[in-house]
Structure 1
């Protein structure tokens, strides 16, 4: 996935009368049948009239925040921290490994 795809999938921008807030996806109970998705603010609020390029730059910067995102050691894709499970491997890779083993 490209940085733009990742930022679209794992971040969002909430616009308020005070400004624009970049938020990162946080998955609660990722192994549950229906995982809960929450959003957490990252960085500083952007001005109401921030340029689209600046908003996108802030979204990409959020993907580098290790409090919220990490690289899977197997596929090297950026994932929310809560989706990186055993030994630094993401949930998608674990499912693929289990499917191959079965």
Structure 2
């Protein structure tokens, strides 16, 4: 294997490991809502994935200032989303009927 492909393979493996962590933390098989601790794990794993992509695949290791700026923006956005999920843990409900998108996919309005 060439030396130039080894870092890409390592980064790909790290991205796959972080994806497994995200799937486990997000409980993709169950319907439960993640606890605050798991929500922080999800946000941090997504931030690390973004950093790997920005640094390795977009080549921002050559521009540390741009890497720091983009990563800061991603981190702040993820932090805002995580905090909003902590503040508003359940989605707002309508009048008790089916959501509009469910009616659309179920064959129209009733």
The two structures have a TM-score, normalised by structure 2, of 0.30
| Structure with greater strand percent | 1
